[in-house]
Amino acid sequence: MLTWLSLLFLALFSGAAFMAGRGRALKAAGGATARLHSLPNYYGAYAALWAGAPAALLLLLGAMFGGRVEDAVLQAQRPAAVSALTPDRQNVFFSDVQAIASGQAASEVAYDGPLRAAFDAKVVEARNIEGIVRYSILGLAGLVALGGFLLVIPRVNTEFRARNRVEGWIAGVLIACSVAAVLTTLGIVLSLIYESWRFFETVPILGFLFGTEWAPQIAMRADQVASSGAFGAVPLFAGTFLVMMIAMLVAAPIGLYSAIYLSEYANRGLRSTIKPLLEILAGVPTVVYGFFAALTVGPLFRAFFNGIGEQMAGGPLDGIAQYLMQVQNQMALVAGVVMGIMLIPFVSSLSDDIINAVPQSLRDGSYAMGATKSETVKKVVLPAALPGIMAAMLLAVSRAVGETMIVTMAAGLQAKLTANPLDTVTTVTVQIVTLLTGDQEFDSPKTLSAFGLGLTLFVVTLGLNIIALRIVQKYREQYD
Amino acid sequence: MTDAVLSPGAPAPKTAPLTAREALLKKRHRSEMWFRVQGIAAIVIAMIFLVVLVGRIVVQGYSTFETHTLTVPVYINPERVDVTALEGVNYDYIVAEALMKKLGVQDDDLGTTSAKIMDLTSRDFGFQLLNKLKADKSLIGKTVDVTGSVKADADLYYKGEIKRSTAEVDRKLDNQQLDWLDKLRTDGTVKAGFNTKFFSNSDSTEPEQAGVWGAVVGSAMMLVITALIAIPVGVMAAVYLEEFAPKNRWTDIIEVNINNLAAVPSIVYGLLGLALFINWLHVPRGSPLVGGLVLALMALPTVIIATRSSLKAVPPSIREAALGVGASKAQTVFHHVLPLAMPGVMTGAILSLAHALGETAPLLMIGMVAFVPGAPESFTSSATVLPVQVFIWENASERAFHERTAAAIIVLLVFMIVMNAAAVILRRRFERRW
């Protein structure tokens, strides 16, 4: 609230600075604007920028990091009673102090004796520190704003190159914005690597990449009965691969054939109706596909396989029949098929672009030799478009590997090393979701393993994309 | 074939290669046909998938928009109401009493009948009575009309989802309860109507009280944050890269980087949000703020790519003309090029926001899966959004929630269709062809 108010006040001050800068420039010109180097508004804008921008940045940084400063100051001095606690308990103590100081619910730990006294003292201290930090940031921001204003206003005269200065600011902001995209990548890479590194300190990286047992449940307390945790990710990779293969078996032929038909055979009318319809299929959120898979396709496939099993029961293949009768709703096949449906428009529109990029002269040459349309497509267009289509398929594979909601809702949670599409499997993305949903503690290998999986996922999809983009680029150059 | 017409009496050996050629031609035409059929089949299959997907959801969900409300005159028995402790009164029982009177049945000592009746009405009746009494204590001893939903199971029976033909042990309501429900409907106590509660209520543990309002508000707040960050930053980044940047190694790196970022799986952005915003910057978990930040990072590359392509479409003559009359580079871009590219920019921005609206996976990582009964009050309080609400309800065990899940999907799809239609209209109406 305080931050918002101060930002509002700062905006008003900056507006006043604008008027002051503009007014001073006009006065210096003596009413003849032509005598000014720049338009009057640029003088105003220059004053407003110096009055507003640095202070706003300061307030923003204060809102982002003020809390951390408060924590650091508060925890710098630890009373003896607190220092005697284990590090975990110390953390709980300080988070409780923060909670009480800011009027939120604390944990249910009871403090008594010297600890209680220390607690109450720290709560008071926390409130004081919070006030000091907040008001000092505010005061500093006010000084910076006023300083910027006072620095700039005297410099305004007819010779002053206000436009060039303002455009310098604009260029700076533009560069900062485009660096944001790089910072995002950097943030992804650094956060994944940092957390994964902490994970690989407890679990060896080779054991993670080549181990065949995945059981991340770890005992939270010493007296609990639970496995000690196994972090072999091969079953997850296998599950991901299985689902991805099924999805591609559905999406690749349907997507490719419809792209060929739309670009080579269909007339304008058909094209302009089918393409938007395919775009609808592409725009449906994945959680909707997940719902469709879990409540429509799953039960349907289960009933189908159970029905086949009942027909075959008692026959020569009784073993298979018994298995089919026990098939459950959650299976790799369901997730794969629905994911395939999701990928159809993706494959189709990418292939469509690539087929359209094949020069018409190639087709004309083929027709002139007496080839039929399908022969032209099969023997001329497709071979010419092959690298591009391979790239499109790679991009689709990368989408399939990173897709989360469909598999979370339809594939299952059991980590099994199987190639049977009727079995429940689990994928890398499903495990990331299940490991990180709900409460997490950031030092258990269970939570950190999600970052290890995330890093693997990121590296694989990034690799696929780079290869695919390279292929497309090379291929485009060929015909340009 | 023309040869055959010209020389009808041609000797046999001459026709033999002809038929062979004809056979080959036939074969080629057959394979042409076959190829064409395959293409049509692929499109038909894709369309069938679309129809089945949308059709199934509409069929599963449309019944949510109808609901059954029950109006009953309730006698507020002074013996049962303790004026000093209004909160502690068993209002559900008072409502059940009124219904028992209406149905002409008596409660037994164990209260089985009243318990069965309470299974038919929403707990909402009790809360309504409590609120009425809190407002006006003089109602005690009088009879007031109360209107509310029937319980989800009763609603499903009225809609034909629970059938009398199912064996009694397999359904949640027994024959006696079904008889009562039939009686209440025939005497006009229960009426069917449009389900306004689904749009005005937020999430609830009772299906008949659960609605999408909180999720819609949460989604809107989150999209506001996303739009406020992704659109300005994305557009400015694109303007720099397209109009100002020198072509060198650094800008090449930025460009490749953006193309790759657009294809990073959304769940990875969730991991980034968890590590960066929640763990490092201590943004409140599950709030519209943190959700909007994560989705903004995700939408950024798409906005940049769309903006760049519409800036590219503005012909260089515009720039040259502006520079020619003495405008500076910045004036050229901001006074002429960017306004001309704006329709394309806005189309791209709306489409990427529509995509962000449907995103679920990264939000699960940043703690948006909590049960939130109510619309979020501020950008930092915990919230739920439409796609996550779909995910939560899909996991609920009650059958009535499945119906609501499909209805929430319909609401979500309507929002997406509106946004996409807006983008298409914008493109059609304002796009210039040079």
- Alpha helix segments (H runs only) across B62-109: 91-103
B157 lies in the same domain as B258 = no
Contacts of B419 in chain A (CB under 8 A): none
A283·B265 Cβ contact <8 A? no
Name which of A167, A286, A398 is nearest B263 (Cβ-Cβ).
A398
Please count the other Cβ atoms lying within 10 Å of the Cβ belonging to residue B4.
13
Q: Does some domain include residue B72? A: yes
Task: Write the residue in B60, B279, B360 that is nearest to A285 by C-beta.
Answer: B360
- Which residues does chain B have within 8 Å of residue A163's beta carbon, measured at their own beta carbons? 328
Query: Whole-angstrom distance between the N-terminal and C-terminal Cα of chain B?
Result: 51
| Tens digit of each residue's pLDDT (9 = 90 or more) over A100-120 | 777 766 666 777 777 788 888
pLDDT confidence of residue A336:
95
The answer to whether residue B35 neighbours chain A at the CB level (below 8 Å) is: yes
- The owner of tokens 């990121």 is A458
Q: What is the mean pLDDT of residues A212-228?
A: 63
Kindly list the residues from chain A whose CB atom is less than 8 angstroms away from the CB atom of residue B21. none
- Both B236 and B179 in one domain: the answer is no
| For residue A52, pLDDT beyond 70 | yes
Domain region containing B116 = 66-195
Query: CA triplet A98, A103, A105: central angle to 5 degrees?
Result: 80
Task: Mark yes or no for CB contact A295/B60 under 8 Å.
Answer: yes
Q: Which of B128, B162, B195 lies at the terminal end of a domain, its last residue?
A: B195
| One domain for residues B172 and B241 | no
The C-alpha of B338 sits at a distance from chain A's nearest C-alpha, in angstroms, of 14
Q: Provide, as residue numbers in chain B, all residues whose Cβ is less than 8 Å from the Cβ of A170.
A: 330
**B14 lies in some domain:** no
Size of interface A-B (CB pairs under 8 A): 249
The residue type at A285: P
d(CA A115, CA A109): 11
- Closest chain B CA to residue A343: B46
Residue of B nearest to A273 (CA): B47
B191 touches chain A (CB under 8 A): no
For chain A, the average pLDDT equals 86
Instruction: List the single residue in A177, A344, A438 with the smallest CB-CB distance to B240.
Output: A177
Task: Measure the CA–CA gap between A211 and A299, rounded to whole angstroms.
Answer: 33
Q: Which residues of B touch A429 (CB under 8 A)?
A: 265, 267, 361
Q: Is B329 on the interface with A (CB under 8 A)?
A: yes
Do B272 and B403 belong together in one domain? yes
Question: Could you tell me if B181 and B311 lie in one domain?
Answer: no
Domain boundary among B195, B222, B255: B195
- The answer on B270 and B172 residing in a single domain is no
Write the single-letter amino acid at A315.
Answer: G
Tell me the nearest-neighbour CA distance from B275 into chain A, angstroms.
6
Would you say residue A225 has pLDDT above 80? no
**Closest approach of chain A CAs to the CA of B194, in angstroms?**
24
B296 lies in some domain: yes
pLDDT per residue over B55-114, tens digit each?
A: 999 998 888 888 888 888 888 888 777 777 777 778 888 888 888 888 888 777 777 888
Does A402 have pLDDT greater than 90? yes
Domain final residue, candidates B195, B222, B254: B195
The verdict on B134 and B240 lying in the same domain is no
Q: Which residues of A touch B275 (CB under 8 A)?
A: 191-192, 194-195, 451
Same domain? B220 vs B345: yes
Q: Which residues of chain A have a CB within 8 Å of the CB of B46? A: 254-255, 258, 278, 281, 344-345, 348
Whose CA is closest to A180, among B283, B166, B234, B170?
A: B234
Asked if residue B32 belongs to a domain, the reply is: no
pLDDT band at A324 (very low <50, low <70, confident <90, very high): confident
Chain A nearest C-alpha distance from B174 (Å): 26
pLDDT of residue A480: 56
Does some domain include residue B48? no
Q: Please tell me which residue, B69 or A78, carries the higher pLDDT value.
A: B69
Residue at B95 is within a domain: yes
CB of B23 less than 8 A from some CB of A: no
Within a domain: B205 = no
Residue B2 in domain:
no
**Chain B contact probe: residue of A291, A394, A432 with most B CBs at under 10 A:** A291
Q: Which of B56, B237, B328 sits opposite A178 (nearest CB)?
A: B237
Closest CA of chain B from A258, distance in Å: 5
Nearest C-alpha of chain A: how many angstroms from B77? 40
Same domain, B74 and B160: yes
Same domain, B167 and B91: yes
Selecting from B233, B279, B360 the residue whose C-beta is nearest the C-beta of A405 gives B360
Q: How many domains would you assign to chain B?
A: 2
pTM for this predicted structure: 0.87
Q: Best residue in B51, B259, B264 to probe A by mutation, most A CBs within 10 Å?
A: B264
Helices and strands in chain B: count of H runs, count of E runs: 18, 3
Report the largest interatomic distance among the alpha carbons of chain B, rounded to a whole angstrom: 118
* Residues, chain A: 480
* The pLDDT of residue B216: 94
Select the highest-mean-pLDDT range: A39-48, A71-80, B186-195, B201-210.
A39-48
Set of chain A residues whose Cβ sits within 8 Å of the Cβ of B229: none
Amino acid at A207: G
Q: Which token pair is A91?
A: 């953390």
Mean pLDDT of A393-410: 93
ipTM of the complex: 0.88
B274 touches chain A (CB under 8 A): yes
**B282 vs A67, A281, A395: nearest CB:** A67
> For strand A214-215 and strand B66-75, is the pairing parallel, antiparallel, or unpaired?
unpaired
**Residue B217 sits in the same domain as residue B255:** yes
Question: Mind listing the pLDDT tens digit of every residue in chain B (434 residues)?
Answer: 444 444 554 455 555 566 888 889 999 999 999 999 999 999 999 999 999 999 999 998 888 888 888 888 888 888 777 777 777 778 888 888 888 888 888 777 777 888 888 888 888 888 888 888 888 878 788 888 888 888 888 888 888 888 888 887 778 788 888 888 888 888 888 888 888 888 988 888 888 888 899 999 999 999 999 999 999 999 999 999 999 988 888 888 888 888 888 889 999 999 999 988 888 888 888 899 999 999 999 999 999 999 999 999 999 999 999 999 999 999 999 999 999 999 999 999 999 999 999 999 999 988 888 888 888 888 888 889 999 999 999 888 788 888 899 999 999 999 999 998 898 888 888 877 77
The Cα-based distances of A283 to A279, A465, B143, B406 in angstroms read 6, 21, 53, 17
Gyration radius of chain A's alpha carbons = 32
Domain containing B243 — which CATH number?
1.10.3720.10
Residues of B in contact with A411 (CB under 8 A): none
Contact between chains at A192 and B57 (C-beta distance less than 8 A): no
pLDDT 10s digits, A300-316: 999 999 888 888 887 77
Q: Which residue of B has its CA nearest to A185?
A: B261
CB B226 within 8 A of CB B363: no
* B222 and B353 inside one domain: yes
Contacts of B211 (CB under 8 A, 6+ apart): B197, B198, B199, B200, B201, B202, B203, B204
**Interchain proximity B361–A404, CB inside 8 Å:** yes
Q: How many CA atoms lie within 13 A of B66 on its CB side?
A: 13
Nearest residue of A to residue B391, measured between CA atoms:
A287
Q: In what order do the strands lie in the sheet with B143-149?
A: B143-149, B66-75, B190-194
